[in-house]
């Protein structure tokens, strides 16, 4: 297995697909170390096999999907080019397409950019650029860095080439558990039964990187019993600290889809603010630290929290005729 280390990174900011932004911040208390912001930006999915039917007819599809990611092969990292601000590489499907909830996209591009000493941006997108991206006129992106931070950022981008996976660590605390870690070896074994017994879709049958025209999936390991805040807009029954499935909790499934509804408990509502803050305490060193993850994109996002992991999923949408 080819393994390589790269320091802090953040890809050029052309929105969409998977983007990851890390930002160390300031001291909160004397015991709190740098805050880091991690943002994932996933693009809206195109549905080339879904046809818009006349009013009154049903949408049709000519493809049968497996509805299971167990056999999804993940990706292999190919050609790679480094620059003074990061790297760009190609990802190729590592085996036969699984077509779990859509058609697997064979060729992806990953861009990693060190945006500053405190920000890291990782973006994974379809090389053919067939997915919708949010225009910068809607959400402005930070300008490309004019200074190289690859050797000075507190963030370190690490990756395995086969199967492709990445994890983010702190330069100032390299032995600590990564802030974000997509390696299958770091994730709990599967299958995992539904943590909502009444909803079979809350089961997990695998954690490969899945990038399809109607479905995206990315999972990261978390410290057991960590503290997660955010993932709004929602009024959570667990309070500010989200239920991560420990201390008698059942975990959290948070849908990021704005709807015009009052103030329901544990349901999505007016706004979509898919960002979370994680607070960790290291009992060995007596230090606490915080990091954040932002999901930015257009589509139906779902975040599942069940210690010791967090799973991001994006499902494609269908264009429906008016008045349906």
* pLDDT single digits (tens) 111-159: 998 988 878 888 888 999 887 777 888 888 888 899 999 999 988 999 9
Pairing of strands 32-40, 287-295: parallel
Please determine, for residue 19, whether its predicted confidence score (pLDDT) is greater than 60: no
* 324 in a structural domain: no
Asked if residue 161 belongs to a domain, the reply is yes
CA-nearest of 254, 229, 214 to 59 is 214
Work out the average pLDDT over 182-193: 93
Q: How does residue 85 score in pLDDT terms, banded at 50, 70 and 90?
A: very high
C-alpha span between 292 and 294 (Å, rounded): 7
Our count of domains for the chain comes to 1
Using only C-alpha atoms, the chain has a radius of gyration, in whole angstroms, of 19
Task: Please give the pLDDT value at position 8.
Answer: 33
Output the pLDDT for position 279.
Answer: 93
Name the band, by pLDDT with cuts 50, 70 and 90, for residue 184.
Answer: very high
Q: What is the pLDDT of residues 252-276, one digit of tens each?
A: 988 888 888 888 898 888 888 888 8
* Predicted confidence (pLDDT) per residue in 212-229, tens digit: 988 889 999 999 999 999
Instruction: Measure the CA–CA gap between 70 and 193, rounded to whole angstroms.
Output: 14
- Separation between Cα atoms, residue 289 and residue 175, nearest integer Å: 14
Assess if residue 320 is contained within a domain.
Answer: no
pLDDT of 91 higher than 60 = yes
The Cα–Cα gap between 159 and 5 comes to 6
Both tokens assigned to 68: 């299971």
Does any domain span residue 47?
yes
How confident is the model over 89-100, as a mean pLDDT? Answer: 96
Over residues 197-201, the mean pLDDT reads 80
Long-range CB contact pairs, 47-56, < 8 A, 24+: 47/102, 47/213, 47/214, 47/316, 47/317, 47/318, 47/319, 48/103, 48/130, 48/213, 49/103, 49/213, 50/316, 50/318, 50/319, 52/319, 52/321, 53/321, 54/321, 55/321, 55/322, 55/323, 55/324, 56/321
Q: Is 154 exposed, middle or buried (0-12, 13-18, 19+ CB in 10 A)?
A: buried
Rounded Cα gap, residues 226 and 95, in angstroms = 35
Per-residue pLDDT tens for 46-84?
Answer: 433 333 333 333 334 567 898 889 999 999 999 999 999
pLDDT digits (tens, 9 = 90+) for 202-212: 889 999 999 99
pLDDT score at 57: 32
Which H or E run includes 122? strand 120-126
Does 277 reside within a domain? yes
- CATH code for the domain in which residue 200 is found: 2.60.40.1760
Higher pLDDT, 87 or 313: 87
Q: What is the pTM of this model?
A: 0.80
Give the C-alpha separation, 121 to 166, whole Å.
Answer: 12
Residues 41/275, Cβ–Cβ less than 8 Å: no
State the average pLDDT over residues 76-102.
95
CA–CA dist 316, 155 (Å, integer): 32
Q: How far apart are CA 88 and CA 82, in angstroms?
A: 6
46: containing domain: 3-315
How far apart CA 15 and CA 184 sit, in angstroms, is 26
Residue 100 confidence class, pLDDT cut points 50, 70, 90 = very high
Report the pLDDT value the prediction gives residue 218, as an integer from 0 to 100. Answer: 92
């Amino acid at each position: 297995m080819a393994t390589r280390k790269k320091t802090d990174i953040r890809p050029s900011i052309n929105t969409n697909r998977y983007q990851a932004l890390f930002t160390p911040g300031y001291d909160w208390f004397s015991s709190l170390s740098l805050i880091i912001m991690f943002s994932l930006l996933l693009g809206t999915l195109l549905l080339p096999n879904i046809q818009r039917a006349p009013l009154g007819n049903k949408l049709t599809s000519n493809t049968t999907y497996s509805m299971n990611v167990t056999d999804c092969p993940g990706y292999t990292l190919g050609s790679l080019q480094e620059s003074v601000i990061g790297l760009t590489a190609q990802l190729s499907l590592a085996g036969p397409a699984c077509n779990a909830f859509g058609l697997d996209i064979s060729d992806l591009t990953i861009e990693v950019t060190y945006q500053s000493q405190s920000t890291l941006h990782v973006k994974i997108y379809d090389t053919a650029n067939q997915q919708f991206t949010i225009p910068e006129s809607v959400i402005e992106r930070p300008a490309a860095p004019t200074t190289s931070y690859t050797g000075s950022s507190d963030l370190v981008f690490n990756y395995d080439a086969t199967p492709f996976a990445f994890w983010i660590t702190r330069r100032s605390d390299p032995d600590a558990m990564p802030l974000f870690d997509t390696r299958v070896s770091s994730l709990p074994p599967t299958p995992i039964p539904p943590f909502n017994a009444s909803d079979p879709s809350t089961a997990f049958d695998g954690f490969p990187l899945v990038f399809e025209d109607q479905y995206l999936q990315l999972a990261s390991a978390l410290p057991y019993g960590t503290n997660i805040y955010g993932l709004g807009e929602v009024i959570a029954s667990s309070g500010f600290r989200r239920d991560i499935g420990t201390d008698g909790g059942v975990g959290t499934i948070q849908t990021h889809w704005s709807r015009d509804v009052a103030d329901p408990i544990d349901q999505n509502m007016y706004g979509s603010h898919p960002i979370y803050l994680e607070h960790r305490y290291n009992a060995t060193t007596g230090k606490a630290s915080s990091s954040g993850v932002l999901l930015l994109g257009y589509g139906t996002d779902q975040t599942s929290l069940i210690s010791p992991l967090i799973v991001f999923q994006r499902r494609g949408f269908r264009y429906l005729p008016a008045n349906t």
